[in-house]
Every structure is written in structure tokens, then in C-alpha cells.
Amino acid sequence: MKICGIRRIEDALAAAEYGADAVGFLVGQKHASPDFVDPDDAAAMVAALPPHIDSVLVTHLAEPDEIVRLANTTGVSAIQLHGDTSPDQATEIKQRVAQLKTYQAIHVVDAQSIDTARQYTTVDALVLDTLDATTDQVGGTGRTHDWAISRQIVEQLPIPVILAGGLTPDNVAAAIRQVRPYGVDVNSGTKGPDGYKDHTELKRFIDNAKS
């Protein structure tokens, strides 16, 4: 279970305390999002995390050189490719940082998304998310997608699949029952009115997912 869009260390530590397996830091922006942080700030938060929790670089960048450099700068244990990375680029990144876990985001739009997902099986896992073309947001949209398609991807692909996109404390249990993913990933569904993590909702999400 990953809590994404972390911008304050207190939110990362709360996620770890409540039972999250990973936290995500958005660095390297090309599309709309309020959650990006500076590489140095991300590195400071990564360094302050307890050792049992994975730190994930979530980036819109696509070029392997840029991404590998960011991963080294921030000191993360995993990379989530959430931009326009091609299958060949994803494979190259995985080969160059073999010690890190590498995830590829797939936007579930229609049945064609299943074929798209098949092209990225050289990474360690896929993250199924929702695209909002009206706002140029490629993640953190707060919108769900067709979970029936996500279930097909889970059933048909040989690598782990993580479900994201519009998950909240109230719908995460139903999503897990329908899709049967390897894990879940949340950003906007655990935010408070100030844009940072609401610790009550954060705990409720993790508890409901684990139950």
C-alpha cells in the first residue's frame, strides 16, 4: 500500500505509523499537479523515513538520464514512471537501476489499456490510474476508472498490479474486492482541505484497505 503526494515529513511518518508500505514523492513535473516537491526536499524526507518503508520517486519525466539522476539525488528505493515513458525507456531505466523497484503507470481508459499494459511487463509492477484530459492531470485526479478493465489486467498480466485512481477510505474495500490487485495507491482520497494529508482519513484508508 502506497500513500502518494507526500509533501511534509509528518505526513510520511504518519503513513508509516498507520501501516503503509510505501510513500510517494512527486518530483520532475510536466503535467498539472499541486503535489510536486523540490528534489532536495524529497531527499530530506526520504532520509528521515524509517527503514521498513519504501520511498518512491513519482515522476512525469520520460528520459532515462533525467530519471536515473533524480533517483540518485533523492535516494529513493523505487521509481514510478508516471509520464510518457516508452516501453523501451522503461526497460532501460529498469536495467540501469536494477537495485531499485520500478513501476509503470497505465491510464485505464478503455479495453485498449489492456494492450498498453502488456507492453510494460519488464518493470516490477504496474500502477493503474485515471487520466483527466480536461485538466492535464495524469494522476491524483480523485476520479475512478472502469474497475472491470483493471480486473482483466490483473488476471491477464504476469507482474503485480497496483490499483490507483479515485480511491478513498469509503471505496477502497469495494475496489479491492472487485479488482483483486497486488496493492493500492492513494493520493487525493487522503487529503484535507489544506491540500496536505488528513491523518484521520489516512488512518481510515489504511485500516479499511488492510481489513
| pLDDT tens digits, one per residue of 64-97 | 999 999 999 999 999 999 989 999 999 999 999 9
* Half-sphere exposure in the Cβ direction for 133 (13 Å, CA): 3
Cell numbers 503485480 correspond to what residue?
160
Three cell numbers written together for 63: 528520459
Whether pLDDT at 135 is above 50: no
Three cell numbers written together for 103: 513501476
**Predicted local distance difference test score (pLDDT) of residue 130:** 85
Q: What's the distance, CA 173 to chain centroid?
A: 18
Per-residue CA distances from 106 to 39, 117, 159, 162, 198 (Å): 24, 6, 13, 10, 27
Whether pLDDT at 207 is above 60: yes
CATH value at residue 104: 3.20.20.70
The percent of residues in the chain predicted with pLDDT above 90, rounded, is 86
Whether pLDDT at 175 is above 80: yes
**Predicted local distance difference test score (pLDDT) of residue 29:** 72
15 or 34, which is more confident: 15
Among 11-15, 33-37, 61-65, 151-155, the range scoring the smallest mean pLDDT is: 33-37
- Which residue out of 4, 129, 185, 198 is catalytically annotated? 4
| Residue 32 confidence class, pLDDT cut points 50, 70, 90 | low
Three cell numbers written together for 17: 505509523
Question: Using CA atoms, how far apart are residues 174 and 197, in angstroms rounded to an integer?
Answer: 22
* Number of domains making up the chain: 1
170 CB-near residues (< 8 Å, 6+ apart): 208
- Please indicate whether residue 84 is annotated as part of the active site: no
pTM given for the model: 0.92
| Residue 20 confidence class, pLDDT cut points 50, 70, 90 | very high
Span 8-31, average pLDDT: 93
- Which residue out of 21, 132, 146, 207 is catalytically annotated? 132
Span 185-205, average pLDDT: 96
Residue 100's domain comprises 2-210
Q: What is the pLDDT of residues 143-171, one digit of tens each?
A: 787 999 999 999 999 999 999 999 999 99
| Residue 194 confidence class, pLDDT cut points 50, 70, 90 | very high
| Residue 140 confidence class, pLDDT cut points 50, 70, 90 | low
- Please indicate whether residue 41 is annotated as part of the active site: no
